[in-house]
Structure 1
Amino acid sequence: MGWVQDYEPVGGLWVSALLAAAPIVVLLAALGVFRRSAHLSAALALLTALGIAVFSYGMPVGLAGNAALLGLIFGIWPIAWIAFHAVFFHNVTVATGRFESIKAALAGFSPDRRIQALLIAFGFGALLEGVAGGGSPIAITAAMMAALGFPPIKAVVLALLANTAPVAFGGLGNPMIVLGSVTAPLLGVETEEATQLFSAMSGRQLPFLALIIPAFMVVVLAGWRRMVEVWPALLVTGGSFAITQFLISNYVSPSLVDVGAALAAMGSLWVLTRFWRPREVWRFAAEDAEAEGADAARQAESTGPGPRRTRADATSVPGATGAEADGGSKASAAAASTRSGSVGGGLYAWMPYLILIAVIVLSRIGTLFPGLPGWLDVTALLQRATVDIPWPGLHEAVVRVPPITPENADYPAVLTLDLLFSPGSVALFATILAGLLMGARPVSLLRVYGQTIVQMRWALATIMMILSISFVMNYSGATSTLGLAFATTGVLFPLFSAFIGWLGVFLTGSDASANSLFGPMQVISAQQLGIDPTLAGGTNSSGGVMGKMISPQNLAVGATAIGQSGKESLLLRKTFLWSVLLTLAVGVIALLQATVFTGMIPQ
């Protein structure tokens, strides 16, 4: 018989829970109070978790060390493997110049600042989140909007607010993959099944928020009255994103949710603007006469429906010009191609993302179309290279006891190496294929790969240590202690679940990290209360995304992108209320799903 967990090692449940929370408190204090780097904060929290496991919970040193090591390895595969190659894909589009074509096309899409914000911050930001994540959507879209003439601080606020819609499925579905991996043993199902359950659950919560976030953005940008003027664009953008997010998360794969939903939103908005335009083109008051004159001339030549007046009634940075002032002749050519509806120009700009979608769909074709012949079932072929490794010295060496389990049960510890089926491997293949088709030489791809390693080194170290903290807390019993404590909140637990996830993302800046920290605790708490654990885990991820806009790391990324370092506190003040209100909305949705609309919970 292995080492038996004790969920109240000191002074009863709540005193033990306070002790179990010490690694999280250390992480919070190091990040938020002492302003330490994320990787250093994670290292201090990991040392704290090991100390609590050994000296308070009585976990043997060997078991604690093995749990920490398994967490570190799991942080490499599959988590860092996925995150790294998502960023590698983006870096290749930049290195080949294709990203500049996309930027130019976006800049020339519409002279109306509201439409530009919807396209760039909401649509393109979601696409970047889907393939890269890690703060890149905030940095890139904020910098793009600032270059187009948006007030820098407002550009970052819009980017932070828009980034909430796609975060739960960012980085090729990495948050869902993490959540499924760390909770599958608690649910008694395979990792892939757990991942798909949580994907479906969040996919039945977040679309409600995706419908309203575009309207929130325009209110922040231009006010309530100006928001109403573009309601067709808001409905089409948010509606197409929400519908696609629901369908792909429930019936395809979490890896493709953001990419598909973002392209659907941008494509739908493009189609709408072929037939509809705002009655008044809203721009910033300080934009110069040359930009105004260019717009007036372009509008006079337009045959599109509706009055073509220009209205400027906001403030902007001095000297800002319109979209046509950014990007030179290349931008103008791409913009003209976009406005004229050039299919060839669009395919040229978006080819890398279309390749990525095609490769991901092909890798999941067996899930989409069950019963395919063996030679056509690419999914099954890729899965043949998957290896399960029971972790030596930890697998079934820890015993969980009631009330966490109905009876004493060995705790499995299995590392799954899905060598070819992992989204990280699929993204690597798609990147190489897209890079070669874009004209990159193999040596150039290798150089970008090395640059990505340097770029991501500290982020990867942070991911590994966060997962290590999670594994130590899980196998020592600390996570179960916290779960039992939160179970005392009773029927309101789904509401608290959203704020627990929100806190996790605020602490770590990552929905994937928050899922690894709090996902098991949420599942255990729900099991104790008789609430469906799928709802609790999904709500942890859905509520967590609302903490993204106030996370210190993301505030710093946004401020740095526009050259406003030191303005993080100002950004926090402008986003905090929105963050709390949206988290509350997720909590209310979860509470209703737990008590009234129980049929919305996937089985």
Structure 2
Amino acid sequence: MFVQQLEPVADSLALSALVAALPLVTVLVLLGAVRTPAHLAGLSGLAAALAVAALAYRMPAGQALSAAAQGALFGLFPILWIVVNALWVYRMTVRTRHFDVLRRSFSRLSADPRIQALVIAFCFGALLEALAGFGAPVAISAVMLVALGFDPVKAAVVALVANTAPVAFGAMGTPVVTLAQVTGIPLDDVASVVGRQTPLLALVVPLLLVFLVDGRRGLRETWLPALACGSAFAAVQFAASNYVSAQLADIGAALLGAAALVAVPAARRPATEAVRTAVLTGVRSQDLDSRDTRRETARAYAPYALIVLTFSLAQIPPVKGLLDTATRTFDWPFLNVADPSGEPVGGNLFALPLLATGGSLVLLAGILTAAVLGVRAGAAAREWAATVYELRRALLTVTSVLALAYVMNLSGQAATIGHFVAAAGAGLAFLSPVLGWFGVAVSGSDTSANALFGALQVSAARQSGLAPELLAAANSAGGVLGKMISPQNLTIACAAVGLAGREGDLLRKVLPWSLGLLLVMCLIVTGQSTAALGWMLP
């Protein structure tokens, strides 16, 4: 049995924490300063974590490699299993041109470009985040806004800022699923706290979007539809994450947010010519004038309805119990780790949910989607293989980062850093979202930031007397605000709207909003750690 040590370097917590931080520093420096591709930075960080585990923490090499293998497997299944299948569904809608039908349907929901920005960037962007994430919402939303006649810079900024509130529950709940796995906190517990933080952003972001689109006039004339949209989104995200399913939080929130938006009479009024002239300064796509049959429109919406139906049925107790019977739990080979007190850690066991996981449910919905859209089995299989190929670097990045996280957690490196960070005391609650924000700003992924810092946050919380669920959730909630300034997202946005090389311009426009919203989140988490807002927690 390998017993973790908190102070393996010269019996000093500070020196041990400094050495333990080397893998994280390696990843962050390579990504942020050297601009190394994410998959290479992840592999370099993994190598550093293995070296620190073996040389400083005296973890047997076999156990360190076994810990890395467990993290890599979790990265593949269920995390990337969700992403691949969700993106596969989207690719089939593009192949059959039903995505174009959907885009035209959105353009007809309102003749006001400010409302169109909310429908596309906030509501549909949230739906894309729920299904795929990993940059897809920013790219697709920005392209759709440009097709409507938005200036490319404004379209990119709006898409980036909108991609905040849904991120923690994106890709069928992948970030919170990862957070639960690396921290050992039950998924329902951590999701319920995140669901009491990010909905507060959803109340603000739609108002911010109409301001970005049309300044004070936009805020003055469309605040009611924006507030209705944000309120409905926030209410559904809270309810779903706390009482239904974290995987359904963004899907339900996006759909109900859009419904609430278009239900407000002010949202259906056409904008004045002055507004259209000020907002729509680009070239409008001609195919928006094409008319689609009701049958084709229904088929365009069908994939998302099928996903909602599949996940809803999976929550029915008898069905849920049947799916759970396929879950396999076993002792992970070549791994026998105890915490500093001598108690075996949870990582010695590994659970493999073969059916009761988001990826398998999305796969079922994808098979049904192929049938509804008329995609033959061979073509659907080729699209699935093409999806895997498209995500090949993301596959390597996620598996290496999760392998790194598992090595740091099981060797004791995360616990050492957590004990050291706990010295911040009461200020830890304020700083906790900043750590998540920084992780996403550098890595471009809330999933990666949760894998890197989730266990550290929990360890620090326990040492300082704060609720572990609160700081774990704060890591994810703060992280969503770093998404808009991450180099990956900025590059994706620029490439999507033809602004390659102008990432710096976009960064200067979105950075103030990222920092401002981060400050709000820090104050929320600080309040939730005290009696002031402690009543918000479950």
Q: 1:446 to 1:93 in 2, by over 3 A?
A: same
Deviations 1:4-58 (A, max 9, x none): 2121222522222222111111111211222211111111111111111111222
Deviation at 1:110, TM superposition (A): 2.3
Q: How does 1:383-462 map to 2 (within 5 A)?
A: 383-394=324-335, 397-401=336-340, 407-412=341-346, 413-462=348-397
Deviation at 1:347, TM superposition (A): 3.2
In the alignment, structure 2 segments of 5+ residues that lack a partner are none
Q: Which amino acid aligns with 1:357?
A: V
- The DSSP-based 3-state class of the residue aligned with 2:232 is helix
Alignment partner of 1:584 is 2:519: yes
Deviation at 1:326, TM superposition (A): 3.4
1:564 is aligned to 499
Q: Which amino acid aligns with 2:329?
A: D
Deviations 1:67-106 (A, max 9, x none): 1111111111111111111111211221222211101111
Q: 1:279 to 1:203 in 2, by over 3 A?
A: same
Retained in 2: the 8 A contact 1:131–1:170? yes
Q: Which amino acid aligns with 1:400?
A: D
- The DSSP-based 3-state class of the residue aligned with 1:51 is helix
Deviation at 1:589, TM superposition (A): 0.7
Q: Which amino acid aligns with 2:90?
A: H
Q: Which amino acid aligns with 1:379?
A: K
Deviations 1:247-288 (A, max 9, x none): 10110001001111000111122222xx33477715xxxxxx
Alignment partner of 1:378 is 2:329: no
Higher-helix-fraction structure: 2
Provide the rounded CA distance (Å) in 2 between the counterparts of 1:83 and 1:206: 22
Retained in 2: the 8 A contact 1:534–1:601? no
**Residues 257-266 or 78-87, more deviating:** 78-87
Q: Which amino acid aligns with 2:156?
A: V
Provide the rounded CA distance (Å) in 2 between the counterparts of 1:479 and 1:421: 29
Q: 1:247 to 1:411 in 2, by over 3 A?
A: same
Retained in 1: the 8 A contact 2:112–2:269? no
Q: Which amino acid aligns with 2:319?
A: V
Deviation at 1:112, TM superposition (A): 1.7
Retained in 2: the 8 A contact 1:107–1:326? no
Provide the rounded CA distance (Å) in 1 between the counterparts of 2:300 and 2:257: 17
In the alignment, structure 1 segments of 5+ residues that lack a partner are 188-193, 283-308, 367-376, 402-406
Provide the rounded CA distance (Å) in 2 between the counterparts of 1:276 and 1:143: 26
Provide the rounded CA distance (Å) in 2 between the counterparts of 1:166 and 1:52: 36
Of residues 327, 330, 344 in structure 1, which corresponds to 2:287?
327
1:373 is aligned to none
**Residues 143-152 or 158-167, more deviating:** 143-152
2:311 is aligned to 360
Alignment partner of 1:227 is 2:168: no
Provide the rounded CA distance (Å) in 1 between the counterparts of 2:477 and 2:267: 33
2:298 is aligned to 347
Retained in 1: the 8 A contact 2:115–2:267? no
Retained in 1: the 8 A contact 2:422–2:464? yes
Q: Which amino acid aligns with 1:327?
A: D
Alignment partner of 1:95 is 2:95: yes
Of residues 230, 239, 251 in structure 1, which corresponds to 2:243?
251
- Aligned-pair RMSD on alpha carbons? 1.7
Provide the rounded CA distance (Å) in 2 between the counterparts of 1:16 and 1:502: 25
Q: 1:312 to 1:143 in 2, by over 3 A?
A: closer
Deviations 1:131-152 (A, max 9, x none): 1111000000011111221111
- The DSSP-based 3-state class of the residue aligned with 1:380 is helix
Retained in 2: the 8 A contact 1:230–1:278? no
Q: How does 1:140-159 map to 2 (within 5 A)?
A: 140-159=140-159
Retained in 2: the 8 A contact 1:229–1:278? no
Provide the rounded CA distance (Å) in 1 between the counterparts of 2:356 and 2:308: 15
Provide the rounded CA distance (Å) in 1 between the counterparts of 2:56 and 2:421: 20
Retained in 2: the 8 A contact 1:505–1:514? yes
- The DSSP-based 3-state class of the residue aligned with 2:290 is helix
Deviation at 1:507, TM superposition (A): 2.0
Alignment partner of 1:242 is 2:234: yes
Q: Which amino acid aligns with 1:25?
A: V
**Residues 94-103 or 114-123, more deviating:** 94-103
Alignment partner of 1:5 is 2:4: yes
Deviation at 1:109, TM superposition (A): 2.5
Provide the rounded CA distance (Å) in 2 between the counterparts of 1:346 and 1:243: 28
Provide the rounded CA distance (Å) in 2 between the counterparts of 1:493 and 1:20: 19
Provide the rounded CA distance (Å) in 2 between the counterparts of 1:41 and 1:423: 28
Deviations 1:289-323 (A, max 9, x none): xxxxxxxxxxxxxxxxxxxx6545636655x23xx
Provide the rounded CA distance (Å) in 2 between the counterparts of 1:513 and 1:230: 36
Q: 1:457 to 1:312 in 2, by over 3 A?
A: closer
Q: How does 1:463-482 map to 2 (within 5 A)?
A: 463-482=398-417
Deviation at 1:496, TM superposition (A): 0.8
1:260 is aligned to 252
Provide the rounded CA distance (Å) in 1 between the counterparts of 2:212 and 2:381: 43
Q: How does 1:181-220 map to 2 (within 5 A)?
A: 181-184=181-184, 187=185, 194-220=186-212
Provide the rounded CA distance (Å) in 2 between the counterparts of 1:277 and 1:423: 34
Retained in 2: the 8 A contact 1:280–1:311? no
Deviation at 1:225, TM superposition (A): 3.1
Retained in 2: the 8 A contact 1:280–1:310? no
